[in-house]
Amino acid sequence: MTSSQETKKEKLHARASIVYRIVAGCIFVVIVGFFVYMFLGARGVIDLRSEFGICGFKQSYGLPCPGCGWTTSTLAFVQGRIGQSLYIQPAAAVFCLGIAISGVFALLSAAFGIRFSFLDRPFGIIVKYFVLTVIIIVAGGWAVTLARAMADSH
């Protein structure tokens, strides 16, 4: 391997410390737990209606709130119906996909000790862009569900 190839490889990832691997393993377990919980809800083993209740915003105003459809979309996602999940609530499907990808990175870090260097940005910058991205995705998903609800009411 040439020296230029080695530096490119080092820039992509590095060796993870034991603490980093443990944290990544915990993140992976939480993500798998979330998807298992939702899968059990989709199978009817867990009653998610009693867990999450009914949307008060929709009852009061007759329009879906930013969170309307998230559970249904997530249930479709965990059952492998990604297209239907995107149709029901696009923001929820995007978040499920992001969580699944994060789980893959966490598994690789925990199991193989890979520390992805592109994730080592300053925490403040990551939080700022993450919050901005979340706001844009949720607003976009809400806009789609509002447009669909208004079209169905006419």
pLDDT tens column, 88-121: 999 999 999 999 999 999 999 999 998 887 777 6
* Residue 60, domain member (yes or no): yes
- Confidence category of residue 2, pLDDT binned at 50, 70, 90: low
74 part of a folded domain: yes
Number of structural domains found in the chain: 1
Query: Could you tell me if residue 121 is inside a domain?
Result: yes
pLDDT number for residue 13: 65
What CA–CA distances, in Å, run from 6 to 3, 11, 15, 111, 116?
5, 9, 14, 23, 15
Q: Which domain range does residue 45 map to?
A: 14-153
- Residue 146 included in any domain: yes
Please tell me the pTM assigned to this model: 0.78
Domain assignment of residue 4, yes or no: no
75 Cβ neighbours under 8 A, 6+ residues apart: 38, 41, 42, 48
Asked, for residue 104, whether it belongs to a domain, the answer is: yes
**Residue 142 and residue 150 in contact, taking contact as beta carbons nearer than 8 Å:** no
Answer with the residue of higher pLDDT: 124 or 94: 94
Residue 129 lies in a domain: yes
Q: Is residue 2 part of a domain?
A: no
